[in-house]
Homo-oligomer: A and B are copies of this chain.
Amino acid sequence: MPFDDDLLTRLHDICGTRVSTGAAVREHHSHGESWHPPGLPDAVVFPESTDEVSRVVAACGAARAPIVPFGMGSSLEGHVNAIHGGVSIDLTRMARVVRLSVEDLDVTVEAGMTRLALDRELRNTGLMFPIDPGADATIGGMAATRASGTTAVRYGTMRENVLGLTVVLADGRVIRTGGRARKSSSGYDLTRLFVGSEGTLGVITDVTLRLHGRPEFVSAAVCPFASIEGAANTVIQTIQLGIPVARIEIIDEVQLRVVNAYSKTDYRIAPTLFFEFHGISAVTVDEQVRAVEEIAREHGAEDFRWAEDADARAVLWKARHNAYYATVASRPGARAWTTDVCVPIAHLAACIVETQADSHATGLDAPLVGHAGDGNFHLIVMLDPADARELATVSAFSERLVERALRFGGTSSGEHGVGLGKLDYLAAEHGEGLEVMRAIKRTLDPQNLMNPGKLIAL
C-alpha cells in the first residue's frame, strides 16, 4: 500500500515537526536487536502525550495504516520491525514520572521512560523497580512484552509488577486499566490482557508499577561447578527449599569464555552460577548464603567467589549483563538469534543437557545463559541471516528446542515474547486457546492495524 500523503499531513498537524520520513530515522525504526528481517516504516512520529498518541492512532485507523509502537528497539523477536510499513510510534519523548508515592510503594511513568532512568529517579527514595531484562528497555516495551530477567525469581515479572496501564485502543479511545490498590476483584483483568500483548491490542502510554524497598543488605557470589547438572540441581533445590534468592543465573563454559574475553574478567571456565542475596539484615542474608553454599557443595560446587561490596557486585553483574553483547561482538557483522524457552524447574537440568548435546551435534558454538531460578534459559546463536543454509540450520535447532521445552511442560517464550519469532509455535503451545486469542484480537483491532503480523496470525 503506498503511503497516504493526507495521513502524513494529519501526522504533521498532530505532532508538528516531530514526524520523520527520513531514511536514517526509518532505518533505525525498522528493527530491534535480533536477526529478523527489518521492516521499514513509512513514517516515524514522536508523540509527547497520550492525547497525541490517540490522535495519531485514530488518523492511522482512518487511513488504514499499520501502527508499530517503538521504545529502545531492544526487542529480540522482531516486535518493532514494521513489516507492513505504516507508522512507527516512537515513545521515547514520553519519559516522565507522572506520579510517585513512596508511602504506597508505587509509581506511574510514561511508557518511554527506561528502567535505568526510573532507577535514577528512585535513587533517593529507598525504593527500587527491580525488574532487570539486561537491556535498558523502556517500561512500556517491558510491559508490552511481559519482560522479566535476572530478578524475577524473587520479585516476579512485569505480570506481577504492573498495577495499571493507560492504553490507546485501535479506534483512538483511551482507557485506564487496573489501579493503585494492591489487589482487586473488580471486573476482567484488562491490565494482564495488555501486559504481553506486544502492541497488537493497543498502544501503552503510561504504566503504574509496584515498587520494592531497596534491600539494606546485599551479597553476591560466583560459583563454578564440575557439571551443568550440578549447577542446575543446585538451583532446583534452592527454589524447592524456598530460599528467597534475588538472582540465580546459570552460565555455561562457552558463555564464560566469551564473557572473560569481552569483560576482561578471569572467571574459571566451568558451568557457573551467579547469585545475589537480598535481606533486611546481615543475618538474613548470611543465612541464605550459608543455606545455598551447603546445597552447592553437595552438587559439586568448586568454590565460591564472594562480591560483598557494591563495586565488586557491579563488576560481576556487568559481566553477566554483557554476556549478550559479548556474544554479538564475538562475530562482527553477524546477527544474534536468541532462544528463550522456559520449563518447570525440575526439568531444567534435563532440558539444558539435551539442548547442549543438540547444539554440539548441530555444530553450533552457542553460549548458554539463563535465569535458572525460573527455569528460563537462552542460547545466543550468531548467524548471517543472508546465508540460507546457516539460517535453516539455526531455525531447525530452535524448533527442536521449542518442541523439547513443550514436551517438558514448558513454554516457547519465557520473557522475550512472540513477535515474529515464535508465531509458528502458538498453535502447538495453546491449542484451541489460540482461537480465543484471535477472537479477542479481532474484537479490539478489527482492521488488524495494531502491530500487524506480530504475536498472532489472523
Binding site for B on A (CB under 8 A): 101, 103-106, 145-148, 152, 156-157, 159-160, 169, 173-177, 179-190, 192-193, 195-197, 201, 212-213, 215, 236, 239-243, 280-281, 283-284, 287, 291, 340, 342-347, 374-376, 409-418, 422, 425-426, 429-437, 439-444, 455-456
Contact = CB atoms under 8 A, between A and B. Distances in A.
Given A240-B103, A411-B179, A188 B193 contact: yes
A241 to B, nearest CB: 7
A422 B189 contact: no
B101 A344 contact: yes
Contacts of A441: 188
Residue from the set A169, A409, A436, A441 with the largest chain B CB neighbour count within 10 Å: A436
Contact of A184 (B104, B411, B443): B411
Contact of A414 (B177, B183, B188, B414): B183
Contacts of A412: 186
A408 B347 CA distance: 46
Nearest to A242: B213
Given A181-B343, A243-B280, 11 more contacts: A104-B344, A175-B431, A175-B436, A176-B430, A176-B433, A179-B410, A180-B410, A187-B196, A187-B433, A187-B456, A280-B287
Nearest to A371: B183
B287 A176 contact: no
A207 B376 CA distance: 23
A159 B179 CA distance: 15
19 contacts: A103-B346, A106-B344, A146-B189, A159-B192, A176-B430, A179-B409, A181-B343, A181-B344, A181-B414, A183-B374, A185-B417, A187-B426, A187-B430, A188-B440, A190-B433, A213-B240, A213-B242, A242-B280, A280-B291
Contact of A345 (B182, B340, B413, B439): B182
A376 B179 CA distance: 14
A183 B422 CA distance: 16
B345 A187 contact: no
Contacts of A103: 236, 240, 345-346
A283 B283 contact: yes
Nearest to A340: B185
A182 B182 CA distance: 21
B291 A287 contact: no
Contacts of A347: 104
A148 to B, nearest CB: 6
Contacts of A429: 179, 186-187
Contact of A196 (B188, B195, B374): B188
A444 B436 CA distance: 8
Nearest to A104: B344
Nearest to A215: B242
A262 to B, nearest CB: 27
Nearest to A153: B182
A133 B147 CA distance: 30
A429 B195 CA distance: 20
Contacts of A375: 181-182
A188 B236 CA distance: 28
A175 B287 contact: no
Nearest to A158: B185
A177 B193 CA distance: 13
Contacts of A156: 160
Nearest to A406: B179
Contacts of A147: 185
A180 B418 contact: no
A174 to B, nearest CB: 7
